Amino acid sequence: MKKISLIVGLLVAMPAAWAQGEDTYADFKAMMDRSFKTTGIASKHRIYQLDFQKACSSEKLPSKKEMARIEAEQMKTIRYPADGKYLGDWKEGEKIAVNGRGLTWTDKTPYNNGGGCYNCHQMSHHEISYGTIGPSLLEYGKLRGNGEEVVKYTWGKIYNAKAFNACSHMPRNGDAEILTEKQIKDLMAFLLDPASPVNKK
């Protein structure tokens, strides 16, 4: 518990270190490098702010021009399926959506984790517990169809939501290697397959 409190305190301090200048942040990062090490699949680099995270952590949101620049850069990170197949197994996708476990240092494989989708979204007709930070995804495929444009947009949004909204609260599931390509395919099926409880009562 003490270690968790320490990490949380350090992460809260990071924006303040940024605000005081690059030298202060460099000292802060050097201290973090000495104090922590990667011991599992969750790499230590995840505790450092990226440039766009820094911009979105300031008191004022970035300008429209800066938001557009960040989004264009993040769009370049999106990797579409090499085999051209976007949908996997919706039943596996449902397990990933329900599972709120994120990557931790002690996990031995990316398959230990989940998407935590219900933390922010309503999805299935059968799930009564869900967050409201993000929009409802209930009947996602039924309302939008499964045309190429919708499918590619949905993949991109799951892979890296910052490509569509620089300061989105949604995780960069693919870009940050939170979910594997197979896991994203299964989530895609959960959202788009007509047989999925997202689209069928």
pLDDT tens figures, 54-109? 888 888 889 999 999 999 999 999 999 999 999 999 999 999 999 988 777 677 77
- Contact yes or no for 185/90 (Cβ under 8 A): no
DSSP state of 41: S
Cite the DSSP H helix spans in the chain.
2-19, 22-35, 51-56, 64-75, 90-98, 140-144, 148-159, 181-192
Q: Please state the pTM of the whole predicted model.
A: 0.80
Q: To the nearest whole number, what is the mean pLDDT of the chain?
A: 86
Distance CA 114, CA 147 (A): 27
Distance CA 116, CA 99 (A): 5
One domain, residues 51 and 108? no
Which residues lie below 8 Å from residue 64, measured CB to CB, with a gap of 6+?
A: none
Question: Looking at residue 8, what is its pLDDT?
Answer: 46
One domain, residues 167 and 109? yes
One domain, residues 30 and 117? no
The domain total for the chain is 2
pLDDT at 39 over 80: no
Is residue 161 included in any domain, yes or no? yes
pLDDT digits (tens, 9 = 90+) for 102-141: 777 677 777 778 899 999 999 999 999 999 999 999 999 9
- Show the domain range for 171: 90-192
One domain, residues 169 and 100? yes
One domain, residues 94 and 187? yes
Is residue 149 included in any domain, yes or no? yes
Task: Let me know how long the chain is.
Answer: 201
Question: Looking at residue 24, what is its pLDDT?
Answer: 76
- Contact yes or no for 114/140 (Cβ under 8 A): no
pLDDT digits (tens, 9 = 90+) for 131-162: 999 999 999 999 999 999 999 999 999 999 99
One domain, residues 97 and 184? yes
